[in-house]
Amino acid sequence: MTDELLAIEGLGVDLPSGGWLPSRGRPAINILSGVTLDLKRGETLGLVGESGSGKTTLARAVLGLQPISAGTLRFDGAPLESGSDFRAIRRRTALMFQDAAASLSPRMSVGEAVVEPFVIHRAPAGDRRAKALDLLAEVGLPPEMAARYPHELSGGQARRVGVARALALKPALVIADEPTAGLDVSVQAEILNLMADLKDRHGLSYLIITHNLALIRHVADRIAVLYLGRLVETGPTAEIFARPRHPYTQSLIAAEPRPDPRLRRADLAIRGEVPGILRRPTGCEFHTRCPIARDICRSTAPALHTIGTGHFARCHFPETTKKGG
Amino acid sequence: MPSAGRKTVLRALLRDPMAALGLGLVTLFVAMALFAPWIAPADPIRLNVVEKFQPPSLAHLAGTDQLGRDLLSRIIYGARTALSIAITAVGLAGLAGLVLGMIAGFGPRWLDGLLVLLFDSLSSLPMIMFALAVITVMGPGTGTLILVVVLVSIPAYARLIRAQTLALAGADFIVAERAMGASGARILLRHMLPNVVGPLVILLSMDIPVVIMLEAGLSYLNLGVRPPTPSWGNILYDGYTSLRAAPYMVMIAGLPLVLSTLGFTFLGEGLRDALDPRLQGRGAR
Amino acid sequence: MTEAILSVENLSLRYRVPGGAVHVLRDVRLAIRPGEVLGIAGESGCGKSTLAAAMIDLTGANAERTSGAIRLRGEDILHLSADDRRRLRGAEVAMVFQDPMTAFSPVLTIGAQLVDFQFNRTGASRRDKWQAACGMLARVGISDPDHAMRRFPHEFSGGMRQRAAIAAALLMRPAVLIADEPTTALDVTMEAQIIHLLRELQADYGCAIVIVTHHLGVIAELCDRVAVMYAGQVVEEAPVDDLYHDPRHPYTQALLACDPARIEERSGRLPAIGGRLPDLRTPPPGCAFAPRCSKATARCLTDAPPRVVLGPDRSALCHEVAP
């Protein structure tokens, strides 16, 4: 048994650019490329990026819900290549959706929904009703919730049902897409604490996708930052927050509004917008917004530089740490 | 609809006066069709030439026709003909449309393209010409009538279901099912089906009067149900040919057509409102 | 103390729902002074968006004011004629929404709409209005405004749309700009830019800004004063520095304690506020926060809390807070 649970190597995803009939000459749209990342057993990896960075696509590609165009995937040492490889790991992986209520079948009661993984995998669950109540209790929901339908749930309750279902078969890997999006701060902590408790109890590994830096700082062991479908920096959470090396990571951290009026910034951390995926810049993708960009950045795509143990940055000048970043 | 929703749908229907009226009329006609032998005062095809062209009276509440048959009994048995044809035809077409539409929406792209082409070609046929052509080839009769209706209606139903299925395929809860490892059959039957049948049921119930009218029309032209089987169209035809001798016949034959059309249409519209989740939320929150 | 430009006085508002009414605003009192930036903070369901909508007289058809007034320069806008009220919107009080897509009609160009928004500049020619719109787009940071004027809303990115929406709101030089979650739909790098922009514009135009948001970071970056809402009431009002460094109401304290951005120590666990919001169909007789409050005593559950004045511009709605 190895330490590594999930290994992503040189992953690329292209989307055909529309059209129903097979086309010639129409270029595919590149969503992700060259993403190399691994997740260790029991680890929480935070995948950070703005909209259009490809983080949700990455999650779906890892689970075989999105065809990949390059690279290899390995789960628990075994390669994931064909549809049957992915089917074989379905029991051991789970996906939590950004919109938890929408991820529940609208005409299925909560009780049915949480035991659905047992039905799908013909797993012995004993008495299904008792199992459903057990699962609901584990995520802190009262038994009467079993009879409810998804549209009757509050945001926090839907989240809990999502967690219960994800954990029904005691998976090894849980991929959570914005697990607290749309929740109030007072409720988001309840969900995160629940996820942390369940992780401790069942030895799970999490891949948490989010744009919320304040939150990921508290839950992730390691962080990977995506920009326009490229992995720009990855490393231990504490190190990344203390000394971000990629200018994009620095800007992201600096741009986060801080809940303390004494820390107001006078200047702007970052200008401009993420370029459209159809207008991918040449060279380094970030050069159009980068404060330290030079000529080489506009022409040559930088390689991933090793900064320290497990800390990499895709930048030509990773040592040029901006002050106050 | 899930069992939990059934009661609320009925309640919503009864709250809306037009829908309640529609439901009442439809129930009335269905009861007429089901219990025809018990409620019809006389045999609808037994001739009694002596009593021909009798205006409505206590003996014959709706009068008699040119062959002395009891009109009320013919109307009641006519409901049986009209509803059995309309429900069979619309039901078969709905079922075929449901299956084909879901296959098109969920299956591989090439199959979808092929099916859409099929729907388009079917619906590009002019309906009347097509109906006449089929009748010419197969001869008039109930079976022919049903076949025509089924072939002509499938594209509309299949397109509706295909659009619904396509929209659902990208929905989070369907992706969630795939991520859990649910089979295609389970996704289709357990999760997509209950979410696409609602709109179809509404469309079907609103199409039933169209088929009733079509049956009456073709029977009127002697291209539908063969006499002496009582059909509202036949009665209307008889009434028309005997307009001078018995003007009441046309009106009596027309009345159930009008009422059943209104009934099914009101019910369909009521169902549409009652099943609309946006409107359903009114009471819940 | 300067005179308020827009003031909400003891406003109570409820939404009619089947089988009763939800009391979304309960005796809300709030004053906005010329040129200040006021933040209205609170979690979902606290009534902050309803309050913002009420300030510009845009509450829905099922909303019903049960008491109170909203005064613009001293005059109750709810007593004006429908026409006068309409004229007020945009010209005196303007609004920016969370989803900038809804601010524009999808079938007209941005330019056409920005010109139309100046309908009550009667003296100006169409050319003047076009120029004014162009200038405003440039002011909100849209490069090549001439080109942008000829674009349709869907051709703009989310950030550009929000900039254009702000430009539209400022065109008539309103005295008050109300922004309801103006950065919530945006990415963090764009959020920072919009915050920066609002700050610049406020300095340039001197209009009062009301920011409604659940994001405590946005308020800290932008506001002079803050009103914290809970269950339809303003529970604490304070200058921004005091609120973040000396919060007095237990709800404000708990809310700040939950914010992961304020917690330095990394423990993998975060504090939460247990319990649930009260059902506002039947508001509790005592303090709405009492069931979730660690400092609550018996009277908190039975007696309505007093508004305790804690200093200039400072008050809290609480039994247990000491002046």
What residues in A contact B175, CB-CB < 8 Å?
60, 65, 95, 97, 103
Q: Is residue B156 part of a domain?
A: yes
pLDDT (0 to 100) of residue B277: 52
What residues in C contact A276, CB-CB < 8 Å?
157
What residues in B contact A149, CB-CB < 8 Å?
2, 4
Q: Is residue B220 part of a domain?
A: yes
- Which among B179, B182, B284 has the least Cβ separation from residue A63? B179
How many Å lie between the alpha carbon of A139 and the closest alpha carbon of chain C?
15
Place of tokens 């408790």: A197
Say whether residue B184 is in contact with chain C using an 8 A CB cutoff.
no
| Interface B-C: count of C-beta contacts within 8 A | 3
Q: Which domain holds residue B95?
A: 3-48+59-252+267-284
How many Å lie between the alpha carbon of A50 and the closest alpha carbon of chain C?
6
How many Å lie between the alpha carbon of A311 and the closest alpha carbon of chain B?
31
What residues in C contact A188, CB-CB < 8 Å?
258, 270, 272
pLDDT (0 to 100) of residue B279: 52
Say whether residue A241 is in contact with chain B using an 8 A CB cutoff.
no
Residue C28 CA to residue C261 CA, distance in Å, equals: 29
Residues of chain B with pLDDT under 50: 1-4, 278, 280-285
Structure tokens at A139: 């995520």
* Closest listed residue to residue B69, CA positions, set B218, B220, B229, B273: B229
Q: Is residue B166 part of a domain?
A: yes
Is A185–C43 a contact, with Cβ atoms under 8 angstroms apart?
Answer: yes
pLDDT (0 to 100) of residue B283: 37
Q: Which of A185, A195, A211, A278 to mutate to test the interface with C (most CBs of C within 10 A)?
A: A185
- Which among A184, A196, A238 has the least Cβ separation from residue C269? A196
Tell me how far apart the 2 most distant CA atoms of chain C are, in Å: 67
Element (H, E) at B104: helix B71-106
Give the residue from chain B lying closest to C17, CA to CA: B285
Interface of A with C in 264-283 (CB under 8 A): 264-265, 268-271, 273-274, 276
pLDDT (0 to 100) of residue C135: 92
Q: Is C308 left (phi over 0), alpha (psi -120 to 50) or beta?
A: beta
Say whether residue B282 is in contact with chain C using an 8 A CB cutoff.
yes
What residues in A contact B172, CB-CB < 8 Å?
97, 99, 102-103
pLDDT (0 to 100) of residue B1: 38
Residue A276 CA to residue A287 CA, distance in Å, equals: 14
What residues in B contact A116, CB-CB < 8 Å?
177, 180, 182
Is C261–A238 a contact, with Cβ atoms under 8 angstroms apart?
Answer: no
- Which among B2, B171, B176 has the least Cβ separation from residue A95? B176
- Which among A193, A214, A238 has the least Cβ separation from residue C261? A214
Backbone angles phi, psi at A42, to 5 degrees: 80, 5
pLDDT (0 to 100) of residue A242: 92
Q: b vs e for B89-107, b when ≥16 Cβ sit within 10 Å of the residue's Cβ?
A: bbebbbebbbebbbbbbbb
How many Å lie between the alpha carbon of A90 and the closest alpha carbon of chain B?
5
Say whether residue C248 is in contact with chain A using an 8 A CB cutoff.
no
The whole-chain average pLDDT of chain C stands at: 89
Q: Is residue B262 part of a domain?
A: no
Say whether residue C132 is in contact with chain A using an 8 A CB cutoff.
no
Q: Is residue B44 part of a domain?
A: yes
Chains near A with 3+ CB pairs less than 8 A apart are: B, C
How many Å lie between the alpha carbon of C15 and the closest alpha carbon of chain B?
12
Q: How far is CA C107 from CA C101, C113, C119, C151, C314, in A?
A: 12, 10, 19, 10, 47
pLDDT (0 to 100) of residue A324: 40
What residues in C contact B285, CB-CB < 8 Å?
17
Is B4–A60 a contact, with Cβ atoms under 8 angstroms apart?
Answer: no
Is C272–A237 a contact, with Cβ atoms under 8 angstroms apart?
Answer: no
Note the Cα A180 to chain centre separation in Å.
Answer: 12
Q: Are A317 and A290 in contact (CB under 8 A)?
A: no
How many Å lie between the alpha carbon of B127 and the closest alpha carbon of chain A?
30
Q: Which of A178, A194, A260 to mutate to test the interface with C (most CBs of C within 10 A)?
A: A260
Place of tokens 């030509």: A316
Say whether residue B184 is in contact with chain A using an 8 A CB cutoff.
no
Look at residue A172 and give its three-state secondary structure.
coil
Q: Is residue B258 part of a domain?
A: no
Residue A13 CA to residue B60 CA, distance in Å, equals: 78
The complex scores an ipTM of 0.86
Q: Where are the beta strands (DSSP E) in chain C?
A: 6-17, 20-32, 37-41, 63-72, 75-76, 93-96, 176-180, 208-213, 225-230, 233-239, 307-311, 314-317
Residues of chain A with pLDDT under 70: 1-2, 17-27, 320-325
pLDDT (0 to 100) of residue C104: 86
Chains near B with 3+ CB pairs less than 8 A apart are: A, C
Give the residue from chain C lying closest to A266, CA to CA: C196
Say whether residue B176 is in contact with chain A using an 8 A CB cutoff.
yes
Say whether residue A213 is in contact with chain C using an 8 A CB cutoff.
yes
Residue C197 CA to residue C205 CA, distance in Å, equals: 12
B106: domain CATH number is 1.10.3720.10
Note the Cα A176 to chain centre separation in Å.
Answer: 6
pLDDT (0 to 100) of residue B285: 29
What residues in A contact B277, CB-CB < 8 Å?
151
Structure tokens at B240: 């028309």
- Residues of C in CB contact (< 8 Å) with B are 17-18
What residues in A contact C256, CB-CB < 8 Å?
259
Give the residue from chain A lying closest to C157, CA to CA: A273
Say whether residue B50 is in contact with chain A using an 8 A CB cutoff.
no
Q: How far is CA B58 from CA A101, B42, B55, B62, C319, in A?
A: 63, 13, 10, 9, 84
pLDDT (0 to 100) of residue B271: 82
Backbone angles phi, psi at A12, to 5 degrees: -135, 140
Is B181–A116 a contact, with Cβ atoms under 8 angstroms apart?
Answer: no
Is A259–C255 a contact, with Cβ atoms under 8 angstroms apart?
Answer: no
**Digit-coded pLDDT (tens) for C8-67:** 999 999 998 888 899 999 999 999 999 999 999 998 889 999 999 998 888 878 888 899
Backbone angles phi, psi at C20, to 5 degrees: 150, -155
How many domains, chain B?
1
What residues in B contact A109, CB-CB < 8 Å?
2, 4
Q: CB atoms < 10 A from the CB of A144, how many?
A: 11
How many Å lie between the alpha carbon of C228 and the closest alpha carbon of chain A?
14
**Digit-coded pLDDT (tens) for B95-153:** 999 999 999 998 888 888 899 999 988 888 887 788 888 888 888 888 888 888 888 88
C-alpha dihedral sign at A156, A159, A163, A165: positive
- Which among C189, C221, C263 has the least Cβ separation from residue A252? C189
* Closest listed residue to residue A191, CA positions, set B233, B131, C314, C270: C270
Say whether residue A192 is in contact with chain C using an 8 A CB cutoff.
yes
Say whether residue A142 is in contact with chain C using an 8 A CB cutoff.
no
Q: How far is CA B100 from CA B120, B161, B193, C183, in A?
A: 13, 8, 12, 45
Residue C314 has pLDDT above 80, yes or no: yes
Is A63–B182 a contact, with Cβ atoms under 8 angstroms apart?
Answer: no
Say whether residue B285 is in contact with chain C using an 8 A CB cutoff.
yes
Give the residue from chain C lying closest to A216, CA to CA: C260
Tell me how far apart the 2 most distant CA atoms of chain B are, in Å: 76
Q: Is residue B53 part of a domain?
A: no
Q: Is residue B37 part of a domain?
A: yes
